[in-house]
Amino acid sequence: MFFQNSDNNLLSSLNPEQLAAVTWPPQSALVLAGAGSGKTRVLTTRIAWLMQNGQADVHSILAVTFTNKAAKEMYARLSAMLPHNLRAMWLGTFHSLCHRMLRLHAQDAGLPKTFQILDTADQAALIKRLLKQMDIAEERLHPRVLQGFINAQKESGLRASVLEASDPHTRLLVQCYTEYEDICRREGVVDFAELMLRSYELLEHNGHLRRHYQNRFRHILVDEFQDTNKLQYAWLKLMAGGGASVFAVGDDDQSIYRFRGAHVGNMAELMREFHIDGPIKLEQNYRSVGHILQAANAVIANNEERLGKNLRTEAENGDKIRFLSAYNDLEEARFIAEESRCLQKDGVPLGQIAVLYRSNAQSRIIEQQLFQAGIPYKIYGGLRFYERQEIKHALAYLRLAVNPDDDNALLRVINFPPRGIGARSIENIQAAAAEQGCSLWQAACGMGEKAVKIAAFVRLINTFTEQAPVLSLPDMVREIIDDSGLYRHYQNQKQAAEQERTENLDELHTAAIWFKPEDSPFETLPENAAEQPTFPILAFLSNAALESGENQAAEGQEAVQLMTVHAAKGLEFDAVFLSGMEEGRFPSELSINERGGLQEERRLMYVAITRARKKLYISMAQQRMLHGQIQFGTTSRFVDEIPAELMHYLSPAQSDFARQQHLSASPNRIRQDAYESIENQNFHGYRIGENVRHNKFGTGVIIDALDKGTSAKLTVNFGKQGIKELDTEFAKLEKLN
């Protein structure tokens, strides 16, 4: 054992696993820290123990975190543990530490001493300026695409000079990357990705400096090691190349940032390259009750190539996981809202309730139901549905369709998607409007056909204005989403986050399908609005403004937290709702067919489950409106991987009864006719959308049926077993609802 009696106060609160990690000999180690196992305590106590025992001082320690928040927390804990002045310790994020190094050695790094850092917005502005200088229109190369390309190359350690281009588009990207590097060099600026790459190159090419830091930092400690990318790991190896010990803390089961470049394989490579025989495992969980941990263990056990651990707790088993297979997405959202109200009445603070979903588009209907139930909520790490960029763009077009003189709406979309109407053209329109005392729209119309691009925009809005009184609200919204070019614009983006915006546009269309004009408060509408042919559009716009403006909780107010599962990492709540658990949604359809994708989705599920301390609710919708059509869902394979004895299944009969109760009680009920018409079709005792069980294929949902007279041919989606066609005359199907 490597501690003295004077260490007792420092080590007394540690469990045996934590104690083994903290008092590990001065050699490299990988600490496999499960969710809620106290990894931050281990990391900070390890630093304090090294210093208290004279094995290290503030100058010989390099501690790396992934967020500034984590760095501040670690610094505060160390300050409380140690009497030392810690200001000289190198403790911070990868980017902050590389910035510190480059400030000290700017000349050696080829930078001016006064170099400035570009934040994300500054970098975007420089890229827009670059594209303008190179006379490259946004339609040809969008600034965000180029920004993502440049950052991805730098994070892979690649300069423009070493890239090869096999097609015209890539050649254009490389050409712009080259020009971008030249501009940054001339102006003495660096972006965030450059901090890491330039620091790595400095160490790699300057042997004297590299040896200096290798001799100085004898103990390198890294938090969230599973999230490191290849360049960060390469930088760490250079720093540790003089024989320093690397003490890495991480959890391969929580590696969920592959889309950002995280390389979970770094953990296995660390063990091999630093001669670590096996990881130290922290498996004692201090967060969740037993049933939740058992569910997490059962799900993640299905992943291959894990380093392997099994969470345990000394806490009670707690409530079973409640699972609802809701009739549709509306019923699912209502269940979440009403159960949240019940939890609040039982003493659970609203701030300790979280609703998680796989993609942002799922938030709209949940927001709507929380709003109607009068439950304050907040979108964590993102925007409310009606505040999202793509939604505001679409609504601006809709506003112009009923009122072209809306100057704010016109300025928002006159050049979005990009159509070549530059700042000078817009200034000319504004000057003409001021001179004539008219709206921007009237000024734009007065410019005639000579202003070709403005004239094209005028024709587009005129088309929408002509269609507004004629088309139904859903058709009008779809027309705008498609004909404005918004959907195509986001669909063509290379970045997944940009492409995801198309899901939100589809969800806006769904909102229009279910919207009932009479449900919109009339006091928010123009006078005599109900008499106008465009009343449904006016009511929809009014309702969108109301929902975006009033229903999110005020600063400091207790509120239910809504977020994606990715955003939830690192957080914990007393009660968690995990919604939209249908095959193809979570796991996503794309991940199922992508190499390594399904394993990452399962890790994401593991993260979602382990956010819950006391209560976990999982829900799915048998029917969900997507892309303007009703789609039928089967239960996610991840739900099936949770042992039945850990689950409390809310029966379909109960949920059907609850649905009828909601419909009769709500004055603002959303149309059910499309769902009802499908539900009521009967095919020899079976209904489309009904859950069934087959003795060979397991459980599934009927997605189509054909009446053959004496029997029916049923098309059943059995999830992992695939879609099967079965004849009711021969197939033995047990109805589950």
Q: Which two tokens stand for residue 576?
A: 């968690």
Determine whether 550 is an active site residue: no
To which H or E segment does residue 77 belong?
Answer: helix 68-81
Q: Which of 93, 228, 254, 502 is catalytic?
A: 254
Determine whether 113 is an active site residue: no
| Spatial contact of 280 and 30, defined as CB atoms under 8 Å apart | yes
Q: Which of 39, 399, 412, 602 is catalytic?
A: 39
Q: How far apart are CA 95 and CA 68, in angstroms?
A: 10
The DSSP letter of residue 82 is -
Residues 6+ away with beta carbon under 8 Å from 114: 188
| Helix residue ranges per DSSP H, 82-167 | 94-104, 120-133, 143-155
The DSSP letter of residue 167 is S
| Spatial contact of 204 and 238, defined as CB atoms under 8 Å apart | yes
CB atoms within 10 A of CB 192: 18
Q: Which of 191, 224, 506, 679 is catalytic?
A: 224
For residue 145, the number of C-alpha atoms closer than 13 Å in the C-beta half-sphere is 21
Determine whether 735 is an active site residue: no
Phi, psi of 532 (to 5 degrees): -85, 145
| Spatial contact of 31 and 42, defined as CB atoms under 8 Å apart | yes
Residues 6+ away with beta carbon under 8 Å from 213: 101, 203, 239
Q: What is the CA radius of gyration of the chain?
A: 29
Phi, psi of 336 (to 5 degrees): -60, -45
| Spatial contact of 692 and 716, defined as CB atoms under 8 Å apart | yes
Determine whether 611 is an active site residue: yes
* Residue recorded with tokens 């967020």: 67
Q: Which of 287, 478, 611, 614 is catalytic?
A: 611
Residue 679: closest CA among 661, 717, 652, 718? 652
Q: Which two tokens stand for residue 448?
A: 């005639």
Q: How many helices (H) and strands (E) does the chain have?
A: 31, 21
Q: How far apart are CA 307 and CA 28, in angstroms?
A: 17
With H, G, I as helix, E, B as strand and everything else as coil, classify residue 189.
strand
Q: Which of 40, 175, 284, 715 is catalytic?
A: 40
Query: What is the residue type of 584?
Result: G
Distance, CA of 735 to chain centre: 37
Q: How far apart are CA 721 and CA 692, in angstroms?
A: 14
| Helix residue ranges per DSSP H, 188-327 | 192-205, 207-216, 230-239, 266-273, 290-300
Q: Burial level of 53, CB count in 10 A (0-12/13-18/19+)?
A: middle
Determine whether 459 is an active site residue: no
The backbone region for 685, taken as left when phi is positive above 0, alpha when psi lies in -120 to 50, beta otherwise, is left
Determine whether 358 is an active site residue: no
Give the active site residues. Answer: 39-40, 223-224, 254, 611
